[in-house]
Amino acid sequence: MVGTQQEREEKVSLELTEEILQSMETGMVFRDYNGRISSMDFHKTSSYLVTASDDESIRLYDVSGAACLKAINSKKYGVDLVCFTSDPTTVLYSSKNGWDESLRLLSLNDNKYLRYFKGHHDRVVSLSLCSRKECFISGSLDRTVLLWDQRAEKCQGLLRVQGRPAAAYDDQGIVFAIAFGGYIRMFDSRKYEKGPFEIFSAGGDVSDANVVKFSNDGRLMLLTTMDGYIHVLDSFRGTHLSTYNVKPVSINSTLEASFSPEGKFVVSGSGDGRVHAWSVRSGKEVASWVTYETEPHVIKWAPGSLVFATGSSELSFWIPDLSKLAAYVGRK
């Protein structure tokens, strides 16, 4: 499966250009939500997408078949953040009921909880799984970041932070990043208790961190903040490569951005509901789309694919319109 994923990513790196990105538009749209989509995740090696919504539902989609396979309700606990484990039929999600901040490992096959992870005392605002290992990391408004093993109910480590944290593992699980207070702190997963081995500046932007992510190859990272900034850095040196600016988001919203599979472009939501795309190399905006939304979309790029998804009051899959491309006109 890993080989297949690498082949997909190599294929995309040859095909994804500014022209193709500019041609992208919504293809399939699912409008049957009764609340805003708060989170979504593509599985690394299958064609599945999972969403979490304010209507307290978790939904599983087969992207290749453009179909919703299953909808599971979490009425008792609510659902906020969701992500796949290595198994495409098992997800991890955070609660949204204000009284139980446990994380839950859920089997989508039979709608059964496999494990509960208790440790946070306020809303979980960041959740990242390591795709190569059985570990994950969570950050909360209780100003703690907890390290977990999927096989154990108790957390494996605790780090205290001074603000709202955003946390993420790199794809290999060798390092993880924690962003808060205008800085990104880099930790070695094997000896995190020694503290960060690097601290990178967000260029003077001290507004609350929303999302931190690594590119697929681990060479780049991005940080989004509540003031509407998206910072792209070299993840090895901490060099500030570019900063993009969109309309700020409200205190209850999250500004999300995503690297394209080969790391050449960044797509993001915005506080005014627009969707933007930038070139990492030039730092320039290459595309912008007006939507009917007035709040930021959650946004994820499908691994090794010319597809990204946005979630708001509806779920949209964005695909290239080849008829707009001069190089494809006349081809059959």
Residue 327 confidence (pLDDT) above 70: no
Quick: pLDDT tens for 93-112: 998 877 788 999 999 999 99
Burial state string for 113-148 with b = 16 or more CB within 10 A and e = fewer than 16: eeeebebbeebbbbbbbbbeeebbbbbbbbbbbbbb
Residue pointed to by tokens 């590119």:
215
Query: Which of 215, 175, 180 lies closest to 198, judged by CA?
Result: 175
Ramachandran assignment for 137, one of left (phi > 0), alpha (psi -120 to 50 degrees), beta (any other):
beta
Quick: pLDDT tens for 32-53: 899 999 999 999 989 999 999 9
**Integer Cα distance of 161 and 140 in angstroms:** 10
Residue 258 confidence (pLDDT) above 80: yes
Contact by Cβ (8 Å): 89, 124: no
Query: Which of 100, 131, 96, 98 lies closest to 117, judged by CA?
Result: 100
Contact by Cβ (8 Å): 251, 293: no
Query: Which of 225, 267, 228 lies closest to 248, judged by CA?
Result: 228
Residue 208 confidence (pLDDT) above 50: yes
Q: Please give the structure tokens belonging to residue 129.
A: 């799984």
Residue 21 confidence (pLDDT) above 60: yes
Q: How confident is the model at residue 131 (pLDDT cuts 50, 70, 90)?
A: confident
Residue 147 confidence (pLDDT) above 90: yes
pLDDT of res. 326: 65
pLDDT of res. 296: 81
Residue 10 confidence (pLDDT) above 70: no
Residue 23 confidence (pLDDT) above 90: yes
pLDDT of res. 110: 92
Q: What is the mean pLDDT of the chain?
A: 90
**Integer Cα distance of 158 and 98 in angstroms:** 22
Beta bridge partners of residue 82, listed in sequence order = 93
Contact by Cβ (8 Å): 296, 256: yes
pLDDT of res. 5: 52
Residue 185 confidence (pLDDT) above 80: yes
pLDDT of res. 7: 46
Average pLDDT over residues 242-265: 92
**Integer Cα distance of 245 and 212 in angstroms:** 16
Average pLDDT over residues 40-67: 94
Residue 4 confidence (pLDDT) above 80: no
Average pLDDT over residues 271-290: 94
pLDDT of res. 165: 97
Greater confidence (329 vs 152) lies with 152
pTM of the model: 0.91
Q: How confident is the model at residue 2 (pLDDT cuts 50, 70, 90)?
A: very low
Residue 252 confidence (pLDDT) above 70: yes
Quick: pLDDT tens for 132-141: 788 999 999 9
The type of residue at 77 is Y
Contact by Cβ (8 Å): 39, 80: yes
Long-range contacts at 319-326 (CB < 8 A, ≥ 24 apart): 319/24, 319/25, 319/27, 320/20, 320/21, 320/23, 320/24, 321/23, 321/24, 321/25, 322/23, 324/22, 324/23, 325/19, 325/20, 325/23, 326/19
